[in-house]
Amino acid sequence: MAAAATAQLAFDGSGIDGSLFTSVTDLARATTWLNTPMEVWTNFGLGVFAVLMIAGWWTARRRGAQAMTLALAAPAAVVIAFAAAEIVKKIVAEVRPCRSMPHAYLVDTCPAPSDYAFPSGHSTVAAASVAALFLLDRRLSAIAAVFAVVEGFSRVYVGAHYPHDVLGSAVLALPVAFLVSLASRRWATPLIDSLSHGALRPFLTATPAVATQSL
């Protein structure tokens, strides 16, 4: 009873781009051989962004305190962007497509009525990763961008989100994650530089310590 009341109070986003949503889900209906790979990717593909951040940290160990600061700030930027998206999600309270458009072809299972659609959490993580890596390594950021597009498409393909849910995630996550990285580079670099000369040195830098010679 409470679940039904929650669904009734939620915003129905099908009028925004419901036709585009069904075009993509109709594609999923016509490519059933791709359903399982896309469902696996949409849930586990976020691991790719973690791998890219680890790669960024590894290369930053040879690039100085500023690069290391950006590498360490990347996961924090993603978490902050995701938290912001969750706040927006509760405020907007857009009901999932599986409830607004139950006759559409759906690959993914329908979540609880209180699990709202806008913005997409998966797409938020993907887009935030792109922005968080941008100041650190443009090549890694470009790779992340390709995977972010695939992730966003997969969220619509499996029927979990409308296209505007994915687009809204990017509009929110890109500036938030970028600003967090920018602020971290400005304010946290001296701290990371200081820590790189202490016990955390092997974690923060690959540059060998300069041995002092006694006279």
What pLDDT sits at residue 130? 97
Q: Domain for residue 160, yes or no?
A: yes
Residue 9 belongs to a domain: no
Weakest mean pLDDT among 61-65, 135-139, 141-145, 201-205: 201-205
Q: Flag whether 208 is in a domain.
A: no
Is residue 1, in this structure, part of any structural domain at all?
Answer: no
Q: At what angle do helices 47-60 and 138-157 cross, to 10 degrees?
A: 170
Q: What is the pLDDT of residues 81-95, one digit of tens each?
A: 999 999 999 999 999
Whether the per-residue pLDDT at 215 is higher than 80: the answer is no
pLDDT of residue 6: 45
Q: Yes or no: say if 170 and 152 are a contact pair by the CB < 8 Å rule.
A: yes
The mean pLDDT value for 2-10 works out to: 48
* Residue 203 domain flag: no
Cβ 66 vs Cβ 189: under 8 Å = yes
Confidence tier at 10 by pLDDT (50, 70, 90): low
Q: What is the DSSP letter of 11?
A: B
Residue at 174: amino acid letter? L
Give the separation between CA 54 and CA 19, rounded to whole angstroms: 39
* Structural domain total, the chain: 1
Pick the closest to residue 73 from 141, 132, 135 (CA basis).
132
Give the domain range for residue 150. 18-196
Question: pLDDT band at residue 199, thresholds of 50, 70 and 90?
Answer: confident
List the alpha helices (DSSP H) in the chain.
2-9, 14-30, 35-44, 47-60, 65-92, 97-100, 121-134, 138-157, 163-187, 189-195, 201-204
Exposure on the CB side of residue 62, measured as CA atoms within 13 A: 5
Is residue 12 pLDDT above 90, yes or no? no
CATH number at residue 65: 1.20.144
Distance, in Å, from the CA atom of 52 to the CA atom of 56, rounded to the nearest integer, reads: 6
Q: pLDDT-derived band of residue 1, with 50, 70 and 90 as boundaries?
A: very low
Question: Using CA atoms, how far apart are residues 18 and 13, in angstroms rounded to an integer?
Answer: 7
Shortest CA distance to 13 belongs to which of 154, 158, 136, 160? 160
Per-residue model confidence (pLDDT) at position 209: 57
Residue 181 has pLDDT above 90, yes or no: yes
